[in-house]
Amino acid sequence: MGRAIFRRPLEGVATYWRVHRRDGVALGFTSHDRDLWFDGLLHRAAPGMLPSAIRRSADLFPDSAEVQGALTHGSIRAVDLTEGRFDGAVVEIGVVDWESLARIVLYRGEIGTVSSEAGTFNAELNSAKALLDADVVPRTSPACRARFCGPGCTLAAVRFIHEVTLSVLDSEASKVRFAGAPPAAALHYGSLRWLDGPHAGLAMEVVSADADGLVLDQPLDPDLPPGTRALLREGCDHTLRTCHERFGNSVNFRGEPFLPGNDVIARYPVAKA
């Protein structure tokens, strides 16, 4: 539903924006002085948050936008920004007539970097045209370039994901032990996603794994209770040996382990003694 905006001298127009986080949470906000409901989402009144700059162009240079504001709304907490819950979230910014709810989308993109200082935050937004900067030509490498269970790998992720429950927590060392977890050797370079508890929805990487548990790459809440559920995903070191011996998937290996490296250029013949 939309119409031309700013055609009349006086219009009831407010800014709105939506944030779709990667953990499935959707948030809506508006610069109006009361909440607005449209598109199946409640847009909370947040007059202190405003898009400070939106840049759109018809060329191939990426569009950009910034949102600044005070951390006054309960939906956006400093701890959530610090934990990365908003990293990579999809953002939609537009204007809406708060009387008729006619609206126009001005910008769509993803959150790049988020910073906060003295109770305020600043989010840098990147449009879809930023993908044009990606290098689409693969570079040779001794390790597999495919993401584990991703495109090119062809392995089914469901085979390597386990629902586990927390049994032991060492918050100072960011170390955990799960009941129902596979052997530690299978969890090197793995990851997990919390299903409940204070970290619900957050994904963490496994830094190291042994018989005593897993060391994660992010700090853990000391009040994380035993029995907290998580989805634990096995990992891969992207070597040809692992691909062949553990997964039997060497036919899909996306690397060149036997290709001579740059050090070959520096070699020179040596006469026999």
Q: What is the pLDDT of residue 114?
A: 72
Q: What is the pLDDT of residue 160?
A: 95
**CA dist 229 → 177, 180, 198 (Å):** 12, 11, 11
User: Apex CA 189: angle with CA 185 and CA 193, to 5°?
Assistant: 105
Residue 41 has pLDDT above 50, yes or no: yes
Q: What is the pLDDT of residue 73?
A: 56
Q: What is the pLDDT of residue 74?
A: 62
Percent of the residues in the chain that have a pLDDT greater than 90, as a whole number = 36
pLDDT, averaged across the chain = 82
Least confident of 107-121, 190-204, 211-225, 244-258: 107-121
Least confident of 14-18, 39-43, 46-50: 46-50
pLDDT band of residue 69 (cuts 50, 70, 90) is low
Percent of the residues in the chain that have a pLDDT greater than 70, as a whole number = 78
Find the distance separating the first CA and the last CA of the chain, reported in whole Å.
Answer: 85
**CA dist 127 → 27, 61, 256 (Å):** 19, 10, 34
pLDDT band of residue 70 (cuts 50, 70, 90) is very low
What pairs with residue 16 in β-bridges?
30, 94
Residue 109 has pLDDT above 50, yes or no: yes
CA 176 – CA 192 distance, rounded (Å): 11
| 27 three-class SS | strand
Please name each of the domains of the chain with its CATH number. Answer: 13-130 (2.30.110), 157-252 (2.40.10)
| Distance from the Cα of residue 7 to its chain's centroid | 39
**CA torsion, ordered 198, 230, 241, 248, to nearest 10 deg:** -150
Name the range with the highest mean pLDDT among 77-91, 101-115, 246-260.
246-260
Residue 178, CA atoms < 13 Å, CB-side half-sphere: 25
User: Apex CA 182: angle with CA 190 and CA 168, to 5°?
Assistant: 85
The more confidently predicted of residues 243 and 64 is: 243
The more confidently predicted of residues 222 and 80 is: 222
Residue 56 has pLDDT above 60, yes or no: no
Q: What is the pLDDT of residue 119?
A: 60
Among 6, 18, 70, smallest CA distance to 42 is for 18
Q: How many helices (H) does the chain have, and how many strands (E)? A: 2, 15
Average pLDDT of span 250-258: 92
Which residue shows structure tokens 């170390």? Answer: 175
Residue 48 has pLDDT above 90, yes or no: no
Least confident of 8-17, 145-154, 171-180, 261-270: 261-270
Burial 245-267 (b: 16+ CB within 10 A, else e): eebebeeebbbbeeeeeeeeeee
Residue 181 has pLDDT above 50, yes or no: yes
CA 22 – CA 128 distance, rounded (Å): 16
Among 231, 202, 232, 212, smallest CA distance to 169 is for 212
